[in-house]
C-alpha cells in the first residue's frame, strides 16, 4: 500500500550547507496495519510524511501510495490519503461542519453522499455539539477532532498521523488513539509518527525508529523486542539512539 524506497531529502541551508533531512530510508506499510514512525524531534519524520502526502518532492528515491507515485501522480495520491499533523490546522473563520464539507467537496464528493458521510463521521467522533462552532472558538481537542473528520471525509485507504497527539490532554489523546485503532480494524493503512514510546507500544504493529534522517531499526514490534533483547520500547529506543550517536560518523553519500 505504501512503499518507500531509498528516499532521500536534502535542503539547501545557509549555515549547514546541504542539509540531509532523510538519508536513503526504505519501508513499506500494508492495509490493516499501523506503521509507527518513531524518532526524536528533528529525526526527519515530518519530512518523510510531507513527502508521502506530496507536499514535498523527494530529492532521490521513489515513494508510492496505493500504486501511485508521489511525484508523477501526486493528485491521485492525495485522493487516497487523509493527513493529520500538527501543521494542518483548521480554519478560524469556518465552523466544523463547513470545514469538513469544504474538504469533502474538494475530494469531489457529491452532495447526498457527502451529507450522509458527514453525519456518520460527526456522530462517530461525537462532534455534533461543535457542528456550528467557529474554528477560532474551539479547544485544541475540538480542533483535532475536526482535523480527523476532515481527513476521514473521503474515506481514504491511507491515513497519516504526524505527531497527532502532541498538545492534547490525556482524555482527548486516549480517544484519538482509540479512533486510530478503530480505523486499523476497518482495514486502513495507517502511518503514525510519534516520539512518545507508550503510544507506539499500545498502538503500532510495525515500527521504524528514525534518527538523524536514517532508519535505525525497522520491523514488527515483537521482532524488535526479540532482536534487541529488550521488552521496554522506550529503553530499546534510547539504546539504539545512544549507540548510533557513539559510532564514529560514517561518511554520508
Q: Residue 57 Cβ, how far from another protein at the closest point, in Å?
A: 7
Among candidates 6, 2, 1, which has minimal Cα distance to 213?
Answer: 6
Considering the complex, state which of residue 29 and residue 159 has its C-beta at the smaller distance from another protein. 159
132 is an interface residue for another protein by CB under 8 A: no
Is residue 253 close enough to count as binding another protein by CB under 8 A? no
Rounded Cα distance, 152 and 158, in Å: 10
Instruction: Output the CA angle 229-230-235, nearest 5 degrees.
Output: 145
For another protein, the binding residues in 58-77 under the rule CB under 8 A are 75
Under the binding rule (CB under 8 A), the answer on residue 92 touching another protein is yes
DSSP string, 143-199: HHHHHHHHHHTT--SEEEEESTTTT--HHHHHHHHHHHHHHHHTT-EEEEEES-HHH
Q: How far is the CB of 147 from another protein (least distance, A)?
A: 8
Q: Collect all residues with Cβ–Cβ distance below 8 Å to 149 and sequence separation of at least 6.
A: 96, 100, 118, 121, 122, 125, 127
| Out of 30, 42, 57, 126, the residue judged to bind another protein by CB under 8 A | 57
Q: How far is the CB of 136 from another protein (least distance, A)?
A: 10
Task: Give least dist CB 62 to another protein, A.
Answer: 18
Interface with another protein, residue 89, by CB under 8 A: yes
Q: Which of 30, 42, 67, 87 binds another protein (CB under 8 A)?
A: 87
Going along the chain, which residue ranges are E strands? 2-13, 17-29, 33-38, 60-65, 68-69, 81-85, 158-162, 189-194, 206-211, 214-220
Q: Which is nearer to another protein, 160 or 197 (CB)?
A: 160
Cell, residue 86:
500538527
- State which of positions 95-114 bind another protein (CB under 8 A): 98, 102-103, 105-108
Q: Residue 233 contacts by C-beta under 8 Å, 6 or more apart in sequence? A: 197, 200, 201, 207, 221, 224, 225
**Distance in Å, CB of 6 to another protein, minimum:** 20
Q: Output 159 or 233, the one with its CB closest to another protein.
A: 159
Residues lying near another protein in the complex (CB under 8 A): 11-15, 17, 50, 53-57, 75, 78-79, 81, 83, 85-94, 98, 102-103, 105-108, 147, 150
Amino acid at each position: 500500500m505504501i512503499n518507500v524506497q531509498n528516499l532521500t531529502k536534502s535542503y539547501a541551508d545557509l549555515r549547514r550547507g546541504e542539509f540531509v533531512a532523510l538519508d536513503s530510508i526504505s519501508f513499506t506499510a500494508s492495509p490493516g496495519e499501523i506503521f509507527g514512525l518513531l524518532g526524536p524531534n528533528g529525526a526527519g519524520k515530518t519530512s518523510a510524511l510531507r513527502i508521502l502526502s506530496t507536499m514535498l518532492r523527494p530529492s532521490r528515491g521513489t515513494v508510492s501510495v496505493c500504486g501511485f507515485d508521489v511525484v508523477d501522480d501526486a493528485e491521485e495520491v492525495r485522493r487516497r490519503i487523509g493527513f493529520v499533523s500538527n501543521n494542518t490546522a483548521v480554519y478560524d473563520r469556518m465552523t466544523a461542519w463547513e470545514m469538513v464539507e469544504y474538504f469533502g467537496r474538494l475530494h469531489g464528493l457529491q452532495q447526498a453522499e457527502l451529507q450522509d458521510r458527514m453525519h456518520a463521521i460527526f456522530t462517530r467522533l461525537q462532534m455534533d455539539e461543535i457542528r456550528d462552532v467557529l474554528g477560532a472558538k474551539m479547544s485544541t481537542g475540538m480542533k483535532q477532532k475536526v482535523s480527523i473528520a476532515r481527513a476521514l471525509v473521503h474515506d481514504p485507504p491511507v491515513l497519516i498521523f504526524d505527531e497527532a497527539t502532541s498538545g492534547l490532554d490525556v482524555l482527548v489523546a486516549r480517544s484519538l488513539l482509540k479512533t486510530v485503532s478503530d480505523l486499523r480494524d476497518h482495514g486502513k493503512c495507517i502511518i503514525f509518527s510519534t516520539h512518545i514510546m507508550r503510544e507506539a507500544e499500545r498502538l503500532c504493529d510495525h515500527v521504524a525508529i528514525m534518527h538523524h534522517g536514517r532508519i535505525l531499526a525497522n520491523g514488527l514490534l515483537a521482532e524488535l523486542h526479540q532482536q534487541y533483547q529488550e521488552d521496554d520500547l522506550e529503553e530499546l529506543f534510547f539504546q539504539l539512539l545512544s549507540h548510533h550517536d557513539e559510532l564514529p560518523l560514517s561518511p554520508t553519500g
